[in-house]
A and B are shown apart, each in its own frame.
Chain A
Amino acid sequence: MLCKGHEGRLENVRMTKWVPDEELMLQVRAGTSESLGVLFDRYQKRLFNFYSKMTGNRTVSEDLVQEVFLRLLKYRQTYTPGTPFRAWVYQIARNARFDQLRKQRPEAELSAAREGFTLPGDPAQRRQESSLLHQALLQLPEEKREVLVMSRFQDLKYEEIARLVGCEVGAVKVRVYRALQELKESFRRLQASGSARALNAAGEKQNLPRGAGHGL
């Protein structure tokens, strides 16, 4: 095939703009690995934000995103037509996270949690509040934090979350509500005790959910 250069690539981008995720994944499955680039552009930021809210650590989050796309390539043959790509990629993303949790020592995540996230250029007060809120989020048990992050930041519907975590929709709603209550309590507590002491008290429970997946 002739090399079409920059224009050719632009043309490809234009052409793939309207191709559904599922179609692209089927192309990857059939050996057209270039199509994975389009999926990467569509999902990288979303997944990065999922992980950054879950771990509070940029480097770990970036590594996990790479891991997800590597697994998409490795296990492309197990993608079955008709499976919504979004559900599949989140399943893989969750499994990558569980594997990372299993491998890491608890202290690693703790120190990562202290890093927090800050908005450059934000007023100091707001920055501190946002950092405390993220601290509080990181203190939630994994299972509760996950459903909260998925519903609040990832625009996933309760039905989708239920399928992902393998429980009833009602159970997801209860879990989201409880997570929010728990978050409220620890956030207000952190605010009351002041940021300095709060940072030292930051901790994360490491409860691995049951049936952590197939290690995809």
Chain B
Amino acid sequence: MDCDRIAEMMPDYLEGALSHEDASQIEEHIEQCAPCRDTLAVWNELAMLPEETPRPESRQRFEAILAAYREGRSSTKGIREPQRSLVPVWAFANRSLGLAAGLACAIVLMTGGFLAGRYTDGSDAGSRMELAAMHGELTNMRQLVVLSLLQQQSATERLQGVSWSTQETYADPQILAALLHTLRYDTSVDVRLAALDALSRHGNQPQVRAGLLDALQPQQSPLVQVAVIDLIVDLRDTQAIAELQNMQHDVKLNPAVRERAQWAIRKLS
């Protein structure tokens, strides 16, 4: 066995994931080959580096952070999240959570009924068509739930909406529009970041790429801006360069964002 083959197998050997036979082959080679033996020796020598213990003050610092957090939380208790004043771009009647929950129930019931039907009907062509139709309806229902959850007043419910949206692999333009709207206008940074994550799954859609560009400039939070820039770089969207160049020189922007824009331009060009 030559050194190249050993190089391929060595990582699994180090993890202890090789079969007994493969491991013996490596050991045989190592006995005869000084450079490979030395590589293994360095891996073993890494055990020399001591395991470190953090100082006890660390726990106290953490306790202080936690206490400050609890204090902040109790002082804001009872304050309601401000009414969202922006009208969503997609035309959709304002629905209550009750309806969203009802729709969710309906999906569960339909799935149950569908499974029951499957047992009795067998698997002939007719039932397969029925299955496809059912699946289509389910998808639509889920879209309704997502769209309605995204409009709720509580950030937790909107987050739930974003996470529901990721259950579909198919990129529905209406859902994407809703997520892009959330990315741009949601009052909570958490929800905006979650929407961005959900959108990153559909980065190949022109609608998403264009939407990301639109969301870059007016974004209030530097954190979200940096995250959007990172996604643009991940998507290798070179069309964003012009916009990033504007941002790089925009003194009104947070310095970290300008720096990230500069980094992104280097990565993309």
Measuring CB to CB, which residues of chain A are less than 8 angstroms from any residue of chain B? 31, 33-34, 36-37, 40-41, 44-45, 48-49, 52-53, 58, 61-62, 65-66, 69-70, 73, 75, 77-78, 80, 102, 117, 119, 126, 129-130, 133-134, 137, 151-153, 157-158, 172-174, 176-177, 180-181, 183-184, 187-188, 208, 210-216
Q: Is B31 engaged at the interface, CB distance under 8 Å to the other chain?
A: no
- Please indicate the chain A residues that have their CB under 8 angstroms from the CB of B94 in the complex: none
User: B155 contacts which of A36, A73, A77, A119 (Cβ < 8 Å)?
Assistant: A77
A32, B124: Cα distance in complex, Å: 52
Query: Assuming the A-B contacts A75-B190, A77-B156, are A180 and B66 also in contact, with contact meaning beta carbons closer than 8 angstroms in the complex?
Result: no
Interface contact B69-A33, CB-CB below 8 Å: yes
What mask results when residues 15 to 29 of chain B are scored 1 for a CB within 8 Å of chain A, else 0?
100000000000000
One digit per residue, 1 when the CB lies within 8 angstroms of any chain A CB and 0 when it does not, for chain B 227-269 equals 1001001100000000000000000000010010001000100
In contact, B155 and A65 (Cβ under 8 angstroms)? no
B24-53 interface code vs A (CB 8 A; 1 in, 0 out): 000000000000001100110110111111
Contact B42 A184 (CB under 8 A): yes
Please measure, in the bound complex, the distance between the C-alpha atom of A48 and the C-alpha atom of B194, giving whole angstroms. 28
A157 to B42, CA, bound (A): 20
Inter-chain contact A78/B194, CB cutoff 8 Å: yes
Minimum-distance CB pairs A-B, first 8: A173-B11, A214-B227, A77-B190, A184-B42, A130-B48, A48-B54, A211-B234, A52-B52
Query: Among the listed A41, A117, A183, which residue makes an inter-chain contact with B42, where contact means beta carbons less than 8 Å apart?
Result: A183
A211-B46 contact, Cβ under 8 Å, with A45-B53, A77-B156 = no
- Residue of A157, A181, A215 near B226 (CB, 8 A) is A215
- Neighbour of A214 across the interface among B49, B62, B63, B193, CB < 8 A: B193
Q: A33-B69, A212-B230 are in contact. Are A78 and B11 (CB under 8 A)?
A: no
- Interface 1/0s, chain B 128-155, versus A by CB < 8 A? 0000000000000000000000000001
B67 to chain A, nearest CB (A): 9
A180-B42 in contact (CB<8A): yes
C-alpha spacing A73/B65, complex, angstroms: 10
Q: How far, in angstroms, from A188 to B156 measured CA to CA in the complex?
A: 55
Give the CA-CA distance A126 to B50 in the complex, in Å: 11
B223 at the interface (CB under 8 A from A): yes
Complexed CA–CA distance, A158 and B53 (Å): 26
Give the chain B neighbours of A77 by CB distance below 8 A. Answer: 155-156, 159, 188, 190-191, 194
